A and B are shown apart, each in its own frame.
Chain A
Amino acid sequence: MTEVLARLGAGWILAVRHLGRSLLLLLRILEGVDELLLRPRLLVEQLFSVGVLTVLIIAVSGLFVGMVLSLQGYYILSQFAAESALGVMVAASLLRELGPVVTALLFAGRAGSALTAEIGLMKATEQLSGLEMMAVDPVRRVLTPRFVAGFIAMPLLAALFSALGVLGGWFVGVGLLGVDDGTWWVQMQARIDWNEDLSNGVIKSLVFGFVCTWIAVFQGYNSVPTSAGVSRATTRTVVHSSLAVLGLDFVLTALMFK
């Protein structure tokens, strides 16, 4: 019993220590944001790597999620002769929940893991130490641009996901299942609320982008500099990010839609 308690305690101490270190790292990352104004090229390169290279998986996923949503929604709504509300249902589901959440999960798997692996390998091959010895702060030069790029890219990717999801849903609902085209768009315009749906979705995606990129850069910077260490850090990025996104989504939803 004592041993179990001791292990639990040790686990908690380790978790709190990690949280403290990640918070300190976050402060150092944020300290360097002003330098990006002087060196915008660093940010543009990372926006390409973190954002543009993630577009394909987000676009394809958004399209298919919208199509499936439309298909499932039609079967349920048609039982109540409410097919006309299909567009609203698809758009609201995507903007409020699926857009930010699924994008964040995909972002953690594609961009987050790549960020962790890249930073971890830079550490393992002494590139970060090399920068330090060249009097270049690796946090400002390597971590800050990646963090800011992730924070900017995530809401844009979520918007793309939702937009393509609506188009996918329209293709299935209007094109294949025969819902009226005009009703689809008019109902959507009338019922989708700027604050309730759009703004809340954007806030969620900003929060998820912040958390996922923070976890990714911290895990990379904190990884054990061996191949096994980088591999474990990459796995932790995906697991921790996914859990954080799902947990935060519940909290944010509870706060936003009281």
Chain B
Amino acid sequence: MRQGQEVSVAGSRPPDEPVLVKIRGLHFSRGDRKIFDGVDIDIPRGRVTAIMGPSGTGKTTLLKLIGGQLAPDRGTIEVDGLNVHALGRRELYRLRMRMGMLFQSGALLTDLDVFENVAYPLREHTRLSESMLRKLVLLKLEAVGLRGARHLKPAELSGGMARRVALARAMALDPMMIMYDEPFTGQDPISMGVLVKLIRQLNDAARLTSILVSHDVAETCAIADLVYVISGGRVIESGPPEQLRESGSEWTRQFMQGLPDGPVPFHYPAPALEADLFGEAA
């Protein structure tokens, strides 16, 4: 909100902690609507970094920009030292093989069963024998607790199960990082608890780097090492969750505590109620 209150993680990052994703001066618009207006973000390697903000602030767009599915108007995004938007198609696809992404909908291929969905990237990019591929897929499914569901079709899965299958698929090629797009949206408390635990466990066990886009404050703060709060096309504040909870910024406090009114007003801009009711305004 107040630019003066921004806390630069890039500046406070210990020098020995390498950065996996480096975003500098990111500008992106859709039509006349400015989504990002000079965003700088550093995603440290081996950590769970959360990108938080209200709906419609461009969190999913940010993941698509990192994955090279969208191109910025200005600015650079480097992943593991490679400028994503300067890469040719082949190099970009090679980089994507080292990235996993969990879509909000799961994005499972509906005509394949659970086993084949997880096996898909392995079949596409490796020449493993069928028995080795089976073992790998079963291990990935075991990690998300769905080995027994391998014969089910995506239509037979609950929302939480579909996201766990998608997570197993995202891990299939043992990527260096996984991007999670709103993984907790629409989940019942049990599924949410399972996903929260899985994201943290997988990050630590597989030494991944996780980028978690969400507006579920409690769940995200429970597992994130670092949080970026974005709104109005800029990074409002960033730091460890504990630091943000005690932030002096009114905006951050309103978001973290879910207050209905504050710097982000409850009312959409409108003329005075009296003027509207008594016909003085059009």
CA A78 to CA B228, docked complex, whole Å? 86
Assuming the A-B contacts A126-B107, A127-B107, A129-B107, are A134 and B120 also in contact, with contact meaning beta carbons closer than 8 angstroms in the complex? yes
Do B110 and A133 have beta carbons less than 8 Å apart? no
Interface residues of B, Cβ cutoff 8 Å to A: 64, 67, 69, 89, 93-94, 96-97, 99-101, 103-105, 107-110, 120-121, 124-125, 166, 169
Q: Which 6 A-B residue pairs are closest in the complex by CB-CB distance? A: A130-B107, A126-B107, A135-B96, A135-B93, A133-B101, A135-B97
**Most chain B Cβ neighbours within 10 Å, of A126, A134, A135:** A134
A133–B99 alpha-carbon span in the complex (Å) = 8
- The docked-state distance in angstroms from the alpha carbon of A132 to that of B124 is 12
Q: Taking CB as reference atom, which chain A residue is nearest B95?
A: A135
Are A127 and B121 in touch, CB under 8 angstroms? Answer: no
Q: B99 to chain A: which residues have CB within 8 Å? A: 133
Bound-state Cα–Cα, A41 to B166, Å: 24
CB distance from A141 to the nearest CB of B (A): 8
Question: CB-CB < 8 A to B124: which residues of A?
Answer: 134-136
29 contacts between A and B (CB under 8 A): A125-B105, A126-B103, A127-B107, A127-B110, A129-B64, A129-B69, A129-B107, A130-B101, A130-B109, A133-B67, A133-B69, A133-B96, A133-B99, A133-B100, A133-B101, A133-B103, A134-B96, A134-B120, A134-B121, A134-B124, A134-B169, A135-B94, A135-B96, A135-B121, A135-B125, A136-B120, A136-B124, A137-B89, A137-B93
Q: Whole-angstrom distance from the CB of A241 to the nearest CB of chain B? A: 24
Contacts of A127 in B (CB 8 A): 107-110
Q: Which residues of A contact B (CB under 8 A)?
A: 125-127, 129-130, 132-137
**Is the CB–CB distance between B93 and A125 below 8 Å?**
no
A134 to B108, CA, bound (A): 11
Q: Which residues of B contact A135 (CB under 8 A)?
A: 93-94, 96-97, 121, 124-125
Choose one: B94, B100, B104, B121; the contact of A136 (CB below 8 Å): B121
Residue of A nearest to B105 (CB): A126
Q: Are A125 and B94 in contact (CB under 8 A)?
A: no
* Closest-CB distance, B209 to chain A (whole angstroms): 16
Contacts of B110 in A (CB 8 A): 125, 127
Knowing that A135-B96, A135-B121, A136-B120 touch, tell me 7 more A-B residue pairs with CB under 8 angstroms. A125-B105, A127-B109, A129-B103, A130-B166, A133-B100, A135-B124, A137-B89
Q: How far is the CA of A206 from the CA of B167 in the complex (A)?
A: 44
From residue B49, how far is it (CB to closest CB) to chain A in Å? 18
B106 to chain A, nearest CB (A): 8
Chain A proximity of B44: nearest CB distance (Å): 22
Which A residues lie within 8 Å of B93 (CB)? 135, 137
Chain B residue nearest to A130 in the complex (CB): B107
Residues of B within 8 A of A125 (CB): 105, 107, 110
Alpha-carbon distance between A136 and B99 when the two chains are bound, in angstroms: 12
B96 touches A132 (CB 8 A): yes
Q: Which residues of A contact B103 (CB under 8 A)?
A: 126, 129-130, 133
Question: Within the assembled complex, what's the spacing in Å between the Cα atoms of A126 and B163?
Answer: 13
**CA of A125 to CA of B108, assembled, Å:** 9
Instruction: Specify which chain A residues have a CB less than 8 angstroms from the CB of B101 in the assembled complex.
Output: 130, 133
Q: Within the assembled complex, what's the spacing in Å between the Cα atoms of A125 and B94? A: 24
Closest chain B CB from A213 CB (angstroms): 20
A136 contacts across to B, CB distance below 8 A: 120-121, 124
A134 contacts which chain B residues (CB < 8 A)?
Answer: 96, 120-121, 124, 169
Tell me how far the C-beta of A36 lies from the nearest C-beta in chain B, rounded to whole angstroms: 15
Once the chains are docked, how many angstroms separate the CA of A129 from the CA of B64? 9
What residues on B are CB-neighbors of A132 within 8 Å?
A: 67, 69, 96
Once the chains are docked, how many angstroms separate the CA of A133 from the CA of B105?
14
Chain A, residue nearest B68 (CB): A132
Question: Closest Cβ of chain B: how far from A119's Cβ, in Å?
Answer: 13
